[in-house]
Amino acid sequence: MTQHRAAVLASPGLRQLRDLVIAPQRHLPGFLAPAPHSPVAEPEAEFAAVRETPAAVVREELETVYGDRLPASLSDLRRAPRRTLPVIVGQMRTYWGLTLAPYWGRIRGILESDVMFRARRLADDGPHRMFPELNPAISWSNDILSVDRPDLDRDYELGGRGLVLVPSLFAWPNVFVKASEPWAPVLRYPTRGIGSMWHSDPPAADLAPVIGQARATLLVELTTPSTTTALARRTGLTPSGVSAHLSRLVTAGLVTRQRAGRLVFYVRTPRGNALLGN
């Protein structure tokens, strides 16, 4: 995927986007990565947030990241942010369609699973246990969150602004912090289950004649906790069909439901794992 991404970004039609994301010292302008307003934001919502960035914020971010070394391709963005941002968003949408959209169902399932796991971990064990598990560079003590990275050499007072935790398939092995005004404080960290992005368990062919192909497929897909919508995207089944099959699996004690905020995740039980030989 790295080579594919580089080839796509090399397209002349994505020149402005490329110069924004390949910035000095790997420091992205903050408006390119708005804090999500839901556990796993939809791409169109994020595109809209970028497009609505105030002009003064765009200019300030460009100055912070580039100083007097702003690429010529971005001069229009600095001069007329409101007119140029839709162009940038159009390039983002093109890039998304070429590189990430085909995999979004699986990506979203992995991210949703991480959100559920971290929420449960925080509720059960508290921040002093949950935060260090995000990454070895992160620690929590006396209500202070520390991130040990050479390029992070300042302290931030959140002042009641909260902290948004954002799992990422593309952060490993690093963590990324955005805490300056006017942004909502964000900590991006490597998600769990990255390996499952490119690897799937073999189909449970011997199980299908017993419980049906669709239910066997869903049981295998629940290697990581998933929502009905995520399972429908990954398997090609209809959401209503997935819901009906999951209800049968729950009744059989092979799957259970867990709630994280407004999302309901389905999780294999020990009995379901045993049926698959795990």
- The length of the chain is 278
pLDDT of residue 200: 55
Closest listed residue to residue 172, CA positions, set 1, 46, 4 = 1
Angle formed at CA 118 by CA 258 and CA 223, multiple of 5 degrees? 60
The average pLDDT across 177-192 equals 85
> Looking up tokens 């192909």, which residue turns up?
213
What are the pLDDT digits (tens) for 52-97? 999 999 999 999 889 888 999 999 999 999 999 999 999 999 999 8
Angle between helices 81-99 and 43-51 (to 10 degrees): 160
pTM for this predicted structure? 0.71
The average pLDDT across 129-145 equals 90
User: What are all long-range contacts of 15-21, with beta carbons under 8 Å and residues at least 24 apart?
Assistant: 15/73, 16/73, 16/74, 16/77, 16/84, 16/87, 16/88, 16/91, 17/88, 17/91, 17/92, 17/95, 19/71, 19/73, 19/74, 20/74, 20/88
What are the pLDDT digits (tens) for 187-231? 999 998 776 666 555 555 577 778 888 999 899 888 777 889 888
Grouping H, G, I as helix, E, B as strand and the rest as coil, residue 277 is coil
What distance lies between CA 215 and its chain's CA centroid? Answer: 27
Burial 47-76 (b: 16+ CB within 10 A, else e): bebbbebebebbebbbeebbeeeebeebee
What's the mean pLDDT when you consider all of the chain?
Answer: 84
CB 9 within 8 A of CB 17: yes
Question: Could you tell me the pLDDT band of residue 177, with boundaries at 50, 70 and 90?
Answer: confident
Where do the CATH 1.10.10.10 domains begin and end in the chain? 200-275
Alpha helical stretches, state H, 126-212: 127-134, 208-211
Q: Which fold has domain 200-275?
A: Arc Repressor Mutant, subunit A (1.10.10)
Measured CA distances, 55 to 50, 84, 182, 185 (Å): 11, 10, 13, 20
Cα-trace Rg, the chain: 21
pLDDT of residue 194: 73
| Alpha carbons 120 and 265: distance in angstroms, whole number | 12
CB 164 within 8 A of CB 145: no
pLDDT of residue 203: 53
Question: Could you tell me the pLDDT band of residue 111, with boundaries at 50, 70 and 90?
Answer: confident
The average pLDDT across 252-256 equals 93
Grouping H, G, I as helix, E, B as strand and the rest as coil, residue 85 is helix
> Looking up tokens 């964000």, which residue turns up?
186
CB 175 within 8 A of CB 137: yes
